[in-house]
Amino acid sequence: MGWALLGLKLVPMIIQAVTSTEEKSVKKGQDKQDEALQLLNQLLVISQGTTVSARDSDVIAGADIETRHLIDALVRFQNATTVSAAETLSTE
């Protein structure tokens, strides 16, 4: 059950990191993803006060590939919904 609670804590932070990076970064691809991961780590430090717990750090470091896949999925979702919304508005 610990993984579920960690997921509930991390997913909003991942969304925030991706959204902020998408709005502010001029980088592309892997560099932009690295920037989002860096921001995620900073958000984790802020949420923990001064340090991220060793357990959370280990889980996050061990889930780097999965976190990158989630970031990719969120970006694809954002792109698809943006295109869909634009198409809906242009047909009205």
At 35 the pLDDT is: 92
Q: Is residue 14 part of a domain?
A: yes
pLDDT of res. 22: 87
Spatial separation of the C-alpha atoms in residues 40 and 46, rounded to whole Å: 10
Q: Which stretches in the chain have pLDDT values below 70?
A: 1-3, 49-61, 86, 89-92
pLDDT score, position 13: 87
Domain residues for 83?
Answer: 6-91
Mean pLDDT of the chain: 80
- Domains in the chain, number: 1
Supply 27's token pair: 């980088």
pTM over 0.85: no
Does residue 1 fall inside a structural domain?
no
